[in-house]
Amino acid sequence: MLGRNFGRTTVGGGKFSPRLWRNAYYSSALKKAPQAVKTSEGPAYPHVSTPSAYKSIQVLSNWHTLDDQPLSSQSIKELFSNTISTIRHPNFLSAEECARIVEIIRTEEIVRFCHYAFDTPDDKDAYLNGVTTARSLQERLKREANVDIVGRVCNILRETSGLPVRMAKEADREYFAGLVRVVDNTIQIHADYGPFQGPGWEIGDITGQLTWNVLFKQVKGGDTIIYDRQWQGKTDDERFRKPLPSYAYSPAGMQGQIFKVMPPIEGHLTFFNPRNFHEVKPCDRTFGQSTDDVRYTMSSFVGFLPESTSGGPALILWS
């Protein structure tokens, strides 16, 4: 027992220690307190037994790793097969190259540098007629920044995969590849897949699709979120497609899915499978204030055209 004169003594005749008294009190109280019931399945609650039928949620994944993988022939195959989440190739562009590119993009002419096949999905001529204009702007970017980004991507894919790499085409008319985006806001959940978006186009004959991205200026925030959940076409459109914006899908369709966070890093070349639903978070900012941080990027799609199709096997690029 503790000594009666709590202000001066304890058992053993020493001076009273409030710390020792508290420890002794809580130790005694814990012995009398109700103890949580713990089971191997589910959480612990005082005096509550976990039902035997309760099971933890099991989340399955197609991916065998969430780590960025180095660019290689094997990783390209795995990304087409959706067994990994991302590929990252560091230092694809130097800091000096990125700075030159950003200065050019900031000019009025390059801000218009946007040409996308699915802006005109039912009109091949409208899309193909715009390729020359889009390429003339890209030529300026190549000339003034002294770097051919799309050509560099094609070369590295050709060397790594061992496959022919070319622009997608309709007869002898090539598609455009190398979309520049300047974004400070969010890009909502969506997916991209040629056979669903471009039936009747060459890109409708692919059997797998990747997208590559290069960031030209470091930002805070702006992460890409990739879900281990592939677009199932009409089924998902009917259940989860939003009326506004019309390209986007409800987060309810992603519920319970594993996801990968891919942070943007200046000058890195990254790849993921865009048939997986994905979104881009906005750059970080103080609530109600604008920010100077914007994501300057270039990207295109890469499709695998099988040997059974005309022009295959090959990797084909388009935007």
Mind listing the pLDDT tens digit for each residue in 25-55?
Answer: 334 443 444 444 344 455 554 555 556 666 7
Tell me how far CA of residue 301 lies from CA of 16, 33, 226, in angstroms.
Answer: 75, 62, 16
Beta partners for 167? 317
How many of the other CB atoms lie within 10 Å of CB of 35?
A: 10
H or E, element range at 226: strand 224-230
Nearest to 273 by CA among 137, 132, 85: 85
**Please, where are the H alpha helices in 130-218?**
131-145, 149-161, 194-197
Nearest to 316 by CA among 211, 191, 159: 211
201 SS3 class: coil
15 SS3 class: strand
How many of the other CB atoms lie within 10 Å of CB of 164?
A: 14
Please enumerate in sequence order all residues whose Cβ is within 8 A of that of 252, keeping only pairs 6 or more positions apart, or say none: 240
How many of the other CB atoms lie within 10 Å of CB of 291?
A: 14
CB 267 within 8 A of CB 94: yes
Task: Tell whether pTM > 0.85.
Answer: no
Structure tokens at 32: 């009398």
CB 117 within 8 A of CB 319: yes
Please list the pLDDT of the chain residue by residue as tens digits (319 residues).
333 332 333 333 444 343 433 343 334 443 444 444 344 455 554 555 556 666 788 889 999 999 999 999 999 999 999 999 999 999 999 999 999 999 998 885 544 334 455 555 568 889 999 998 888 878 888 899 899 999 999 999 999 999 999 999 999 999 999 999 998 889 999 999 999 999 999 999 999 999 999 999 999 999 999 999 999 999 999 999 999 999 999 999 999 999 999 999 999 999 999 999 999 999 998 876 666 788 999 999 999 999 999 889 999 999 9
How many of the other CB atoms lie within 10 Å of CB of 284?
A: 12
Which of the 8 DSSP states describes residue 72? -
Which amino acid would we find at residue 21?
A: W
Which of the 8 DSSP states describes residue 91? T
How many of the other CB atoms lie within 10 Å of CB of 86?
A: 21
Structure tokens at 128: 């193909």
CB 221 within 8 A of CB 284: yes
